[in-house]
Homo-oligomer: A and B are copies of this chain.
Amino acid sequence: MIDLSVDLPGLSMKNPVMPASGCFSFGREYSEFYNLNKLGAVIMKAATGNERQGNPTPRVAETASGMLNAIGLQNPGVEKIVETEVPFLAQYAVPIIANVAGSTIEEYEKVATVLNKSANIAAIELNISCPNVKEGGIQFGTNPSMAKEVTRRVKAISRFPVYVKLSPNVTNIVEMAKAIEEAGADGITMINTLTGMKIDLATKQPLIANKTGGLSGAAVQPIAIRMIYEVSQAVSLPIIGMGGIETAEDVLEFLLAGADAVAIGTANFNNPLVCPEVIADLPEVLKQYGFSSVKEAVGKAHSV
């Protein structure tokens, strides 16, 4: 009997697999394909202080073994999410992680404050891959001191464990991880998308209306694995790994690299059943490679 359970700050999960933020909305659509109770956890779409319309279209483009997206954080605002979306997900026996975004530290604080009112949230994921309008649009996630500050301030307010989502668009991912660890983060989720672009030969302009978009999918998996391998050996925080996962074998590779749990994003679009299918396959794959539990496999690739 293979033990898939994982216990992380605020998250006691029956298995290590959850949908990634922004690829699962608030679960309603996928709940029509399978019983969400099968999931280890759910990460909701980003919540901002007020409603956001997001970017003009096209918002997505296909690339080799991946895709670009620039949705622009479209969401009804944190109040509405707490009122109408969290209760829907709360019907399921699955920990709910709220993805928190903002364009100022104050907005992050506001979102965290509103989320505190909800009885049904297990943890929050700080999406720091957002431009800081007060700092000339530099992303919180690409500047250690800004990342540290926003983490510290949200941590001071939130009654939930805080996972910080790292951006891969940095020279030194370990420096970022250490910064948010010092700021008191309870965990790390990684990686967010890599900034990319596709040009439409017909129009001769960037295909995505926002010009640049975030690259995700199988194409980025080697970068995610490398960063998780480095970060997991440099900090003591638990890691929820993501970036290109499509199969149970991919999940095992993330575990070996040092992830304690995983999230699946892009793969949901091609296969709405990918999460339950990967969860179903995982015990056999763990067994095949000589593991009797998920915990056993975590970090096994680290040099001894």
Interface residues of A (CB under 8 A from B): 63-66, 68, 142, 169-172, 194-199, 201-202, 204-206, 211-213, 215, 217-223, 225-226, 229, 244, 249, 252-253, 256-257, 289, 300-301, 303
Contacts and interface: CB of A to CB of B under 8 A. Distances in A.
Closest 6 CB pairs of A and B: A196-B222, A64-B218, A219-B219, A197-B226, A65-B65, A64-B65
B301 A221 contact: no
Given A218-B65, A244-B64, A223 B204 contact: no
A252 B219 contact: no
A194 B215 CA distance: 14
Given A229-B206, A257-B197, A301-B205, A66 B252 contact: no
Given A68-B222, A204-B301, A289-B204, A199 B253 contact: yes
A244 B201 CA distance: 16
A68, A201, A212 pick with most chain B CB within 10 angstroms = A201
Contacts of A66: 64-65, 219, 222
Given A171-B169, A205-B301, A222 B63 contact: yes
Contacts of A205: 301
Contacts of A253: 198-199, 201
A84 B169 CA distance: 41
A201 B289 contact: yes
Contact of A221 (B64, B222, B256, B303): B64
A215 B222 contact: yes
Please state the number of chain copies in the assembly: 2
Nearest to A176: B171
Given A196-B226, A197-B257, A212-B226, A64 B219 contact: yes
16 contacts: A64-B65, A64-B221, A65-B65, A66-B222, A195-B223, A196-B222, A196-B223, A197-B222, A197-B229, A198-B225, A199-B225, A199-B229, A201-B256, A205-B301, A212-B226, A215-B223
Contact of A199 (B202, B223, B301): B301
Contacts of A226: 195-197, 212
A51 B222 CA distance: 30
Contact of A252 (B198, B201, B257): B201
Contact of A222 (B198, B223, B244): B198
A198 B221 CA distance: 8
Contacts of A303: 211
Nearest to A256: B199
A198 B222 CA distance: 6
Contacts of A256: 199, 201, 204
A223 B194 contact: yes
A172 B68 CA distance: 20
Contacts of A170: 171
B65 A219 contact: yes
